[in-house]
Structure 1
Amino acid sequence: MAAPKYKDKDAGVVLAFNGQWISWSHTVIAYTAFLSALIVGCALHYHKIVQNQWYGYPQEWFPSVSATIGDRYPERSFFMLFIAITSGPRFALVGLFYLLTAKPGHALPKWIAGAGLVRTLTCGGWTYVTSTDDHDWHDILMISYIVFTIPWTTGCIALSPPNAKAIKYRKYLAAGFFGTLVPLVYFFIQHKVHRVAGAYTIYAFFEWSLILFDVGFDAVTALDFDTFEIVVRDVKGASKGVNASSVPTAVLEKEKEKATAGVYSARLNFGDALDIAADVYHGFVFWSTLTSLGLVVWYFPLWYMGISGYEALVMTTLGPILLGIKPIRSLVLRKQRATHLLSLAGLVAYLVKDPVLRLFTVGFGVWMSSLAWTATLSSESVHPVRLESRVLAWIVGLLMSSVAKFAWYTNNPIWPIMHAENGGWNGTGLALAVLAVLRFTRKGPLQTDHVAQRSSGSSLLSAISIGGIFFALHSLLSDTSTMILWTWDGYPIRGPVSNVNGWYTIVAMTVGLLLGVYQQDLVTTWTAYGVGCVGAAVLTLYQQWFGYYGALALTVYLMGISVPLISNAAKKSPAFTFGLGFFIYNFLVLFHVWVVAYAFVPGGPYVREHTDWIMIIMMLAIGAGVFDLISQKAKTPSNAKTADRRRPTGHRKYYIGTLGLLNILFLSANFLRFPTNDYKPYHPEDRLFTAGIWTIHFSLDNDMWSSEYRMRDLIKEMEIDVIGLLESDLQRIIMGNRDTTQFLAEDLGMYVDYGPGPDKHTWGAALLSKFPILNSTHHLLPSPVGELAPAIHATLDVYGSLVDVFVFHSGQEEDPEDRRLQSEYLAKLMGSTNRPAILLSYLVTKPLEGNYNTYVSETSGMHDVDPTDWDRWCEYILFKGLRRTGYARVSRDSITDTELQVAKFVVPKKEEQQKVWEMNAKKDKRERRVEEKDVPAGWRFPDLFKGDGVRGHHYHVFDEPRYFNF
């Protein structure tokens, strides 16, 4: 150890050593912990630690970090011993870095030190609580560690003393750490979802690389801590701002600002940060209210089976037209706080039980919300910085809404169709919304009366662009799964998946928004507009990954152009630009529904299946705004452009931080939602599976509440292994851009095929299965007059045997020719397979009559699950090549308008297949019924629903299940 340098003052010091030994000891001991476990594990349990749930040696030949350190003695003990010793230097390292960087009046060092401490504690958490001990807590602590690594890494770069070598190493190691996350996730998906042999070994190399980069990043502090001597004494004066490097301090500061995108270059102000948080949350409330309007409107035509009249409330977005009346405009501009508070009616609506009153409450909230935000933007338009901040709050609020919907399985937790029983956080959301409004409106309005146009150009073009951009943002970006489902085409998976790849949409939204803020000259060009148009065309015309690449390009463009378009509109007459703009938006919303609901609306046949027309009109509307912006740019003097570039941008740093935080929250939810592949049928010992068919009425129950939880409970308690869901496509504005199948599949542990996507213009058909879906194709059956009839043809691996499943929704009663053609098409489709098969369907026919005899025929080879069930009209289950053992009908309570029908089948072993086919062919044997007591216990339906049942669900029509010869 070195002797103290200031001997005249420190003669009494017995021990003194340089601060860099803290860093070196931390580095050596941390690496020893991991490497000792790796060496011991490979020496003693090599084949066991390279084994995973799918493969072992030789396909997998290098162990992952978790397999190495987590489960086996003695390697786990080696790791825990050294990682415990590491904790001392780790805490000391965080403390010394704080002492090195702390300066009076600067809050950032305290925040970074706090992040370092939490990061250290969570590191101990996930290393000592392994996934075997407690999987949930291990994941939570691991995610927390990664989350706090982000501010620690960027903060250390921002606060780095003027040392060129240290800054360089930190940048390289941080880039290596975060760059490794992308291939790490990719190969984990290849292993976990696609079960690629050897993928986990490659994943393991990236996982070990993370360890090397992470520890190496902290090792760089050795280059800074040589300024400390532990007693402690600053021997070089670096903590006082003295530059010991040969590189000029100004150059190093510029390099640090570049490395952190300037986020940390200014002092952090808690009040400013709170302002931005309130603004963004209030923007989130706006989008939550707006996106809920379609849902509560849609409830009524569902029950009226046609135009109900309540659709008129779609026009409640036209609140801004009141700003054209001078006394009202003056009142609203002066009383903005009251207007914004009244807009929260859309959140209060969940307390209103009656559906009609709830609809009107939401409509009032949307009216006030659109009015309040337009008034605020118009008022702030005289101050470019405040205007940009409000516009960013509005758009980042959309991104926050998408993140929240992903975390809640495509439902928004503060929607009026949510409450505590189905996962809603309405009360919490409302309380935060009130606080956000009070903060949002704490600054007085900049303009309270006269509203003059403050920019050249055309108000008409600007209004058209507002309609186009709001429709685009709402219809495509209010949920991360919408465009993914546009490109979905079944199994095997050849494109993105909602619960795995949704973050790509969030990244594209983030990048687009940053371009819209920092590169407005780029996004407001015809070249950028052309890229956006190409993206829209690719999304509309193609599927799989190529189609999604178009979606990402379009996403970047839409988010980027939204900033200048909305800012431009705010500088013009608010009543005209936003009033007319929202009217055009409403037209596109209705058009967006008409292309599917053409059979129920006037003029519907003319727009039937024309999503391409909608996309063209949307992009042309946005193009009108681009033309207006480019025209104004050409007339703007160069000195005005320069002045605009020099305006204060401090608020942007807080928005960048907010975007980073939202991305982290999304990734955290993404990690928790990652597929577990724990798909276990209920009775594998009997080779039994239970199949069901249910028309779920767009996941809105009879009282206008979201019904996923109640559906989940009934499906689980009925022990259903394979189920077809109809009226299940919710990816439209009017249905909230939702996807019920995500929640059901992940909660119940099932594979899911969404069926024909939202760009295929059907009401939806979906398949959920406990068994692997090996292949699926989607069909749109002949429908010359009425609505398109969707069908799924899937092949499942059921206990090692291939079983075909058909899910089908036929046309309406009013279109007999459609239904006849569809019955012929489906009969041939079912007859095309010689494998065991079942049909889960909505046929719109009476038993033993009409088209029934086409579905159940020699052409299809299918048999009715119970021909004596005379009380059917819509739902039917057919089968062939299987041993049918039971059939039941379960009442729906108030979940939907249709019961749940279920049937039980046994998959014959290979040597029994011929016998089963022969038995199916003989009616007297096929239809012979037996008593429940004669059926093995594992083959029986649950007793839970006998008699009065539970929660309004009980066996009905027959009062109890029926069992058949087996």
Structure 2
Amino acid sequence: MAASRYKDKDAGVVLSFGGQWVSWSHTAVAYLAFLSALIVGSALHYNKIVQNEWYGYPDEWFPSVSATIGDRYPERSLFMIFIAITSGPRFALVGLFYLLTAKPGRSLPKAVAISGLIRTLTCGGWTYITSTDDHDWHDILMIAYIVFTIPWTTGCIVLSPPNPKAIKYRKYLAAGFFGTLVPLVYFFIQHKVHRVAGAYTIYAFFEWTLILLDVAFDAVTALDFSTFEVVIRDVKGTTKGASKSSVPTAATEKENEAIADFFATEYRLSDALDIAADVYHGFVFWSILTSLGLCVWYFPLWHMGISGFEALIMTTVSPAFLAIKPIRSLVVKNQRAVHLSSLAGLAAYLVEDPTYRVFAVGFGVSATCLGWAATLYSDSVQPARLERRVLAWTVGLLMSSVAKFAWYTNNPIWPIMHAANGGWNATGLVLAGLAAFRFTRLAPLQGGNPVSEKSGSAVLSSFGIGGLFFALHSLLSDTSTMILWVWDGYPIKGPVSNVHGWYTIAAMTVGFVAGISRPALVGTWTAYGIGCLGATVLTLYEQWFGYYGALVLTAYLTAISVPLISNAAKKSPAVTFGLGFFLYNLVVLFHVWVVAYAFVPGGPLVRERTDWVMLTTMLLIGAGVFNLITQQAQTAQKNAAPRRPRNNTNHRKYHFSVLGLLNVLFLCANFLRFPSNDYKPYHPEDRLLTAGIWTIHFSLDNDMWSSEYRMRDLIKELEVDVVGLLESDLQRIIMGNRDTTQFLAEDLGMYVDYGPGPNKHTWGAALLSKFPILNSTHHLLPSPVGELAPAIHATLDVYGTAVDVFVFHSGQEEDPEDRRLQSEYLAKLMGSTPRPSILLSYLVTNPLEGNYNTYVSPTSGMHDVDPTDDDRWCEYILFKGLRRTGYARVSRSTITDTELQVAKFVVPASESDFVSTWTAPKTLRNRRVPEEETAEGLRFPAMFRGDGVRDHRYHVFDEPRYYAF
């Protein structure tokens, strides 16, 4: 600090010191706060602060930040004293940076200063409210701090004065900070979910690294603040736009030129709103498109075959009308009207009748495909504007995936959603209208004129569009789709949907950035080969290795989407997008046929050939890549020394910001969805296990609304501990790429086994359990003619006793040989275990007849939960080695087409208490008793007696049945 000096009276200077001391004091005191707590805590309470919920020393040997600063005296007090002292320099640092960068007419410095202030306040929040004090508020403030770190970090880089050293340090430190978040999350998952010894220590190292990098980033301001002398007076004129710190050198000019495209142009609110509107409009496109198959699927689902409504999928080929010049001219010149009319696909939720609703969605799809094709064609004459439209279209897909993750794989603005099941339809529709108005505010660049791009093949380009859109829709419209492709049961040896979904988003982000910044690199045969390799690994392998292939394929698909769509926009839109969407529709039908082969004409020819679907997809994309490469070669030959036109890439920084924001929003949703349940059964005091079986009909109720909330309520109110769900595989385009089990498991606090994945060609079987799943295997039972029969064999830890649970869906009635073979297979599988067992199943047989006597036999060792119930055909509960105490059938209301069957069992405490299976007389084994002779904890809820609630009531017997044995 310079000595105090008095100057002339007019200057009014009493004390002066260099502005860099604000930065250095902030850095020193901040580091002192954390490091003093670490040193004192390690010296006084080492074993206590390295202890976590699973392990202690020596498995864990380095403390986390929160344990160090928040749990013990005196280190907590030392930390809080120094962090309080830090607040003064911190606020001064934010203020000086604002003064340094503020210019007349610039709004960005104000926004950055506000984010810096909020960031400072939230820092005080999570440091003074520790996880021990209030875990929720500590986490909320910590997330808020990280969220506001993004605009602060980005803003500091963008507004940085022309100082190459400061810019370089800021970029490196920011990259290090956000890059550290990835391993940080990974090792936290290893600790929290997988309970890996030592993982929390590694996590702690990355957590401390974040602290060091965060403080170091702010320390870089010392290089800028040297221009200040705190009186406060700017002695070098930087705040007036001139820097006297150094004379520009060749190196400086080169450095500035390298970052000029990204940082040179001022952020403007108007431009930011344009990009936000564009991306949201792209999100609306994907929301409408992805809802079409889902709404169409409702009709063959209830008709049990071809319904005729399937023809509505052809509404996507509406761009073919652009081949007619008057129509093309009309659409291009009236893009706003076309885009606004497409919002009928969102407003469809207002239509109660499913038939009219699906037609509204079909009209919306037709209008949105037509409008986007016309917009891209119109803007194709201006590279920057075309790139902006392409990015809006594709980044909208990423936004859709983020929204679906936050809403447990449902899109909140789909027409199967409404307020009762978590929909945000009205809000989404209003925002969509505003976005459509802003999206179309620029006049079209060309009208009905012929397209100017003559080189290359429009047909080959359409092939690329067809394959690309199918791949994006079928694999990337939900982050859990490819994770479930590689899922193979317990113990978990691969990614989990609600924990690792961000990896897919990160791969999509990397692909978009590569496609924007290196289009020549991604549009090569080498990149295509890498993408094909990823597709092969995803198709052939499971667990983490299969998912690594999925991430490679993800990055390639999003990267190649930018050049492929840009190239297609420069040709006849009727061919590239009209024919392209037609090919997309054919592959959609192809990927439906491979699992629905038993119900569609020609289905057996492509039975279970997902590998053919993937091959077709990549070949179509390859045709587009071939056309792209050929066209680039032709252009290069015509222009021996082509002059590269300067492209206005100002929009890219906004898109990069949107990508960053979407990643942060996903991580916030990821944090909120992180598994935190205690998984407690409802009546542990009675060693009770309540098991249920329910065919959920793909989570669409009788009125075409998503049914997860209503299912959740019934399962919870019936106090079901273990439930098997059938017809539960929703990970296809026609089912919306959804996963009902995620919502049910997380909301009800249950473990989940999704069962055979979507690439196993079944209609799905899933298991939810309040008890830990020790092991599970998936089975595809013999099905030589009809649909595949999925089964799960899981071993649960029920009050310390291993209990086997089987979830099974038999083949349809039309294939008796399939069902006979399946009954023999399953009977042997159930008979192979000596442990207490339960079968939750869909058997397609009459009680006491035919295959029933294979399932209930000495081979299986299983008993029927109630042999006197002669009203069954599909759902059955069988058991062995347990004491059955109750059985009930509960009406479904309008949720699905089948009831929920529930049985109660008492689990033996030891092997000596196992209930004999075939030695007890039938009269004793099936003796019923009045409810009043049953213990209170073993009874079914009384709320479903009589008329019940919400049309759920005990039926068939009108009341539950209770048993003595």
Structure 1 residues 224, 870: CA separation in 2 closer, same or farther (over 3 Å shift)? same
Look up the SS of the partner of 2:63 in the other structure: coil
Distance (whole Å) between structure 2 residues aligned to residue 10 and residue 530 of structure 1 = 73
Preserved CA contact (<8 Å) 1:157 1:256: no
Structure 1 residues 922, 24: CA separation in 2 closer, same or farther (over 3 Å shift)? farther
What's the C-alpha RMSD, in Å, of the aligned pairs?
2.2
Distance (whole Å) between structure 2 residues aligned to residue 612 and residue 164 of structure 1 = 52
Greater CA drift, 89-98 or 71-80: 71-80
Which residue number corresponds to residue 494 of structure 1? 493
Look up the SS of the partner of 2:605 in the other structure: helix
Q: Which runs of 4+ in 1 moved over 6 A?
A: none
Residue by residue over 1:789-841, the C-alpha shift from the partner in whole angstroms, topping out at 9 and shown as x without a partner, is 00011111112221111110000011000000000000111111111111111
Amino acid at match of 1:397: G
Distance (whole Å) between structure 1 residues aligned to residue 45 and residue 867 of structure 2 = 59
Q: CA deviation at 1:262?
A: 5.3
Which residue number corresponds to residue 402 of structure 1? 401
Which residue number corresponds to residue 444 of structure 2? 445
Preserved CA contact (<8 Å) 1:381 1:571: yes
Preserved CA contact (<8 Å) 2:6 2:13: no
Look up the SS of the partner of 2:777 in the other structure: strand
Look up the SS of the partner of 2:367 in the other structure: helix
Greater CA drift, 165-174 or 57-66: 165-174
Residue by residue over 1:568-611, the C-alpha shift from the partner in whole angstroms, topping out at 9 and shown as x without a partner, is 22222222222111111111111111111111111111111111
Look up the SS of the partner of 2:768 in the other structure: strand
Q: CA deviation at 1:775?
A: 1.2
Which residue number corresponds to residue 833 of structure 2? 833
Structure 1 residues 665, 642: CA separation in 2 closer, same or farther (over 3 Å shift)? farther
Which residue number corresponds to residue 555 of structure 2? 556
Structure 1 residues 247, 772: CA separation in 2 closer, same or farther (over 3 Å shift)? farther
Structure 1 residues 45, 385: CA separation in 2 closer, same or farther (over 3 Å shift)? same
Preserved CA contact (<8 Å) 2:164 2:255: no
Distance (whole Å) between structure 1 residues aligned to residue 305 and residue 923 of structure 2 = 45
Residue by residue over 1:331-362, the C-alpha shift from the partner in whole angstroms, topping out at 9 and shown as x without a partner, is 21221111111111001000000000000000
Which residue number corresponds to residue 646 of structure 1? 646
Structure 1 residues 625, 664: CA separation in 2 closer, same or farther (over 3 Å shift)? same
Preserved CA contact (<8 Å) 2:108 2:268: no
Q: CA deviation at 1:134?
A: 4.1
Structure 1 residues 751, 235: CA separation in 2 closer, same or farther (over 3 Å shift)? same
Which residue number corresponds to residue 285 of structure 1? 284
Distance (whole Å) between structure 2 residues aligned to residue 164 and residue 268 of structure 1 = 20
Preserved CA contact (<8 Å) 1:786 1:811: yes
Which residue number corresponds to residue 385 of structure 1? 384
Which residue number corresponds to residue 545 of structure 1? 544
Which residue number corresponds to residue 155 of structure 2? 155
Q: CA deviation at 1:693?
A: 0.8
Preserved CA contact (<8 Å) 2:6 2:14: no
Residue by residue over 1:738-784, the C-alpha shift from the partner in whole angstroms, topping out at 9 and shown as x without a partner, is 11111111111111111100000000001111111111111100000
Q: CA deviation at 1:125?
A: 2.4
TM-score computed with the length of structure 2 as normaliser? 0.96
Matches within 5 A, 1:411-450: 411-450=410-449
Q: CA deviation at 1:516?
A: 1.9
Q: CA deviation at 1:717?
A: 1.2
Amino acid at match of 1:343: S
Preserved CA contact (<8 Å) 2:858 2:918: no
Which residue number corresponds to residue 939 of structure 1? 938
Residue by residue over 1:616-666, the C-alpha shift from the partner in whole angstroms, topping out at 9 and shown as x without a partner, is 111111111112112211111465984445222222222111111111111
Which residue number corresponds to residue 91 of structure 2? 91
Distance (whole Å) between structure 2 residues aligned to residue 677 and residue 197 of structure 1 = 21
Is it true that 1:613 corresponds to 2:612 in the alignment? yes
Preserved CA contact (<8 Å) 2:164 2:256: no
Distance (whole Å) between structure 1 residues aligned to residue 917 and residue 365 of structure 2 = 63
Preserved CA contact (<8 Å) 1:332 1:339: yes
Look up the SS of the partner of 2:951 in the other structure: coil
Distance (whole Å) between structure 1 residues aligned to residue 504 and residue 63 of structure 2 = 32
Q: CA deviation at 1:546?
A: 1.4
Distance (whole Å) between structure 2 residues aligned to residue 777 and residue 333 of structure 1 = 55
Matches within 5 A, 1:32-43: 32-39=32-39, 41-42=41-42
Look up the SS of the partner of 1:839 in the other structure: strand
Preserved CA contact (<8 Å) 2:861 2:917: no
Q: CA deviation at 1:43?
A: 5.5
Which residue number corresponds to residue 3 of structure 1? 3
Matches within 5 A, 1:29-68: 29-39=29-39, 41-42=41-42, 45-68=45-68
Distance (whole Å) between structure 1 residues aligned to residue 165 and residue 771 of structure 2 = 56
Which residue number corresponds to residue 594 of structure 2? 595
Structure 1 residues 198, 2: CA separation in 2 closer, same or farther (over 3 Å shift)? same
Q: CA deviation at 1:183?
A: 1.9
Look up the SS of the partner of 1:802 in the other structure: strand
Distance (whole Å) between structure 1 residues aligned to residue 963 and residue 703 of structure 2 = 38
Look up the SS of the partner of 1:667 in the other structure: helix
Greater CA drift, 273-282 or 68-77: 68-77
Q: CA deviation at 1:566?
A: 1.6
Residue by residue over 1:105-163, the C-alpha shift from the partner in whole angstroms, topping out at 9 and shown as x without a partner, is 44332222122112112212223333444443332221111111122223323333455
Greater CA drift, 757-766 or 173-182: 173-182
Greater CA drift, 788-797 or 534-543: 534-543
Q: CA deviation at 1:398?
A: 1.0
Q: CA deviation at 1:733?
A: 0.4
Preserved CA contact (<8 Å) 2:880 2:917: no
Q: CA deviation at 1:917?
A: 3.2
Q: CA deviation at 1:435?
A: 0.6
Which residue number corresponds to residue 671 of structure 2? 671
Greater CA drift, 45-54 or 456-465: 45-54
Preserved CA contact (<8 Å) 1:262 1:653: no
Amino acid at match of 1:145: Y
Q: CA deviation at 1:88?
A: 2.2
Distance (whole Å) between structure 2 residues aligned to residue 328 and residue 122 of structure 1 = 56
Amino acid at match of 1:213: L
Look up the SS of the partner of 1:888 in the other structure: strand
Preserved CA contact (<8 Å) 2:679 2:751: yes
Preserved CA contact (<8 Å) 2:452 2:570: yes
Residue by residue over 1:435-472, the C-alpha shift from the partner in whole angstroms, topping out at 9 and shown as x without a partner, is 11111111111222223352312222122222111111
Greater CA drift, 171-180 or 426-435: 171-180
Structure 1 residues 363, 898: CA separation in 2 closer, same or farther (over 3 Å shift)? same
Q: CA deviation at 1:285?
A: 0.5
Greater CA drift, 239-248 or 347-356: 239-248
Preserved CA contact (<8 Å) 2:5 2:16: no
Matches within 5 A, 1:527-542: 527-542=526-541
Gaps of 5+ in 1: none
Distance (whole Å) between structure 1 residues aligned to residue 539 and residue 705 of structure 2 = 32
Distance (whole Å) between structure 1 residues aligned to residue 825 and residue 627 of structure 2 = 51
Amino acid at match of 1:322: F
Which residue number corresponds to residue 876 of structure 2? 876
Is it true that 1:517 corresponds to 2:516 in the alignment? yes
Distance (whole Å) between structure 2 residues aligned to residue 673 and residue 647 of structure 1 = 42
Preserved CA contact (<8 Å) 1:781 1:822: yes
Structure 1 residues 501, 262: CA separation in 2 closer, same or farther (over 3 Å shift)? farther
Which residue number corresponds to residue 697 of structure 2? 697
Distance (whole Å) between structure 2 residues aligned to residue 243 and residue 453 of structure 1 = 47
Structure 1 residues 630, 166: CA separation in 2 closer, same or farther (over 3 Å shift)? closer
TM-score computed with the length of structure 1 as normaliser? 0.96
Structure 1 residues 38, 928: CA separation in 2 closer, same or farther (over 3 Å shift)? farther
Gaps of 5+ in 2: none
Which residue number corresponds to residue 799 of structure 1? 799
Look up the SS of the partner of 1:908 in the other structure: coil
Distance (whole Å) between structure 2 residues aligned to residue 249 and residue 709 of structure 1 = 65
Structure 1 residues 647, 965: CA separation in 2 closer, same or farther (over 3 Å shift)? same
Residue by residue over 1:184-228, the C-alpha shift from the partner in whole angstroms, topping out at 9 and shown as x without a partner, is 111111111111122112212221222222223223333433332
Which residue number corresponds to residue 779 of structure 2? 779
Look up the SS of the partner of 1:729 in the other structure: coil
Which residue number corresponds to residue 953 of structure 2? 954
Distance (whole Å) between structure 2 residues aligned to residue 452 and residue 162 of structure 1 = 43
Amino acid at match of 2:378: S
Count of matched residue pairs: 964
Distance (whole Å) between structure 2 residues aligned to residue 752 and residue 716 of structure 1 = 15
